[in-house]
A and B are shown apart, each in its own frame.
Chain A
Amino acid sequence: MRLSNTLLLSMLLCVGTLNAQTFQTESGTAVFHSQVPLHSFSGTSDHLIGMINLDDNSVDFYLDLETLETGIGKRDRDMRETLETEEFPFAEFFGELTSEFDINSDAEQPVTASGKFTIHGVENDIEVEGTLQKTNEGLLLKADWILLLKDYDIEPPSLLFVKVDQEQKIEIEALLKPVDN
């Protein structure tokens, strides 16, 4: 075998090996919880798209914000207007796992990811804590963090003249399946 062929084979093997450590989802769940005095509401989307690569520890998630629903169509439209989704359609996180994860264990393991979270066209460095668990189907990820609207230049909308709280609790849950070779 010529040297170039050997190298090509090595590259392909390399890709195969790498893919075996890559997990993806297109149907994760993202939830935000909002509060105003005497009232609270949540928005949910089941269209969270994400990937975790255990070889280079990269973590990449994004959500089309127009898929978020609060149960009231009018409130959804207000939310989209507040987030200016026509101009900034995605909320996205791109970073890496900064804690160890044992792929050979079935136990739920605490993990930390650091990276850049972008929404409303504003990018901030954040650190997110959550859990990762290997299951028969793939990796089950659960995480939550607090988002401050002012950090992303989001003007809190009003409900009956009362401003929505600056703090929004974000929760995500996703079953990421191994990428086929």
Chain B
Amino acid sequence: MPLKKLPLLFSLLILLPHLLFAQMERKRTVQDGPVEDIFLSGSLIGMSTVSALPQRNMNTMVMHNFGLISGGINDFFGIDVGATVRLGIDYGLTDKLDIGIGRTSRENMVDLRLKYLLLQQLKSDKVPFQIALKGDIGINTERENRFDFTFKERLNFLGSVMIARKFNNQFSLQLAPMISHFNTVVLENSTDELNHTIFGIGIGGRYKWSQRNSVAFEYLPVIGERNLGTKNHAAVSYEIDTGGHVFQIFLMSGQWFTEQHLLARTDTNISDLEFRIGFNINRLFSLGK
């Protein structure tokens, strides 16, 4: 080796430790993962969303609407008219499976629900959609003077497939084909056609215009046969996310917070601007790691 190369080698020797122990290369621990916050909560307004609770998280809900605003100042735009209230609790059994129970003041309806996250949208877009399945059983527990309903006759059901995509940090859209079935349908006129089973497709979306504020909508048209006098449900809301709470203030045409009822029992017409004011309060709790 030529002696003139020695200084270079010595320099390398001196520099070597620094070359070897320079800053470590930064590597992401989390390479890919589910897209987060497709929707702010498990419900948009009355319709459920594909968002599921993390394991051992609990969401308590107070869902509330009043009478029709078309009543004007005489009944303070519906606020003086009897309210519909649903109190509910959902719980994440796993990161993909939620169970829930709720009670609605209308017809003293108790409902049990189950939501399963079938597919999660990934940040990498390898899975571009999120899909969740939902089942809900409603039990009418109201004391009925005219009829002596059996337990079976008091039941109603919902099955739904929710398919959603978060297109960017602002906009999410969901389509939810669903089917409702009522074991008992009360006819107002003997000539009315009777449909126990109704199909529909829920369309919902959210636009998040700041870190804490969003606007959302939902529309639930019936597909196929429907019972006389029923209309398609629609609603728009303003959402405030405070971290642990999600507040939703809205105008909705339907009166219920269970989709089988929104689909089969909504009788107010959005084209006549028959809306009611309402609000939902969602509160999240962690019940341990």
Contact = CB atoms under 8 A, between A and B. Distances in A.
B26 A7 contact: no
Contacts of A58: 21
Interface string A144-175: 00000000000001111100000000000000
Nearest to A82: B211
B17 A72 contact: no
A92 B26 CA distance: 9
A64 B30 contact: yes
B246 to A, nearest CB: 8
Given A18-B20, A56-B21, A157-B243, A11 B12 contact: yes
Nearest to B55: A73
Interface in A61-98: 62, 64, 66-67, 69-75, 77-78, 80-81, 89-90, 92, 94
Contacts of B28: 64, 66, 89
Size class of B's contact patch? 35 or more
A176 interface: no
Nearest to B36: A77
A160 B281 CA distance: 12
Size class of A's contact patch? 35 or more
Contacts, number: 90
Which of A3, A4, A72, A75 counts the most B-chain CB atoms under 10 A from its CB? A72
Contact of B243 (A49, A60, A158): A158
Nearest to A86: B123
Contacts of A133: none
A14 B28 CA distance: 31
B1 interface: yes
Contact of B21 (A14, A49, A53, A160): A53
A56 B286 contact: no
Contacts of A3: 1, 6
A160 B13 contact: no
B242 A14 contact: no
A51 interface: yes
Contacts of A53: 21
B244 A14 contact: no
A66 B37 contact: no
Contact of B17 (A55, A64, A67): A55
A166 to B, nearest CB: 17
Given A58-B21, A159-B244, A160-B244, A73 B1 contact: no
B18 A56 contact: yes
Contacts of A160: 242-245
Contacts of A47: 29
Interface string B240-251: 011111000000
Interface in B220-259: 241-245
Which of A70, A73, A81 counts the most B-chain CB atoms under 10 A from its CB? A73
12 contacts: A3-B6, A18-B17, A18-B20, A56-B18, A56-B21, A58-B21, A71-B288, A74-B244, A77-B36, A81-B211, A159-B244, A160-B244
Interface of A: 2-4, 7, 10-11, 14-15, 18, 22, 47, 49, 51, 53, 55-56, 58, 60, 62, 64, 66-67, 69-75, 77-78, 80-81, 89-90, 92, 94, 157-161
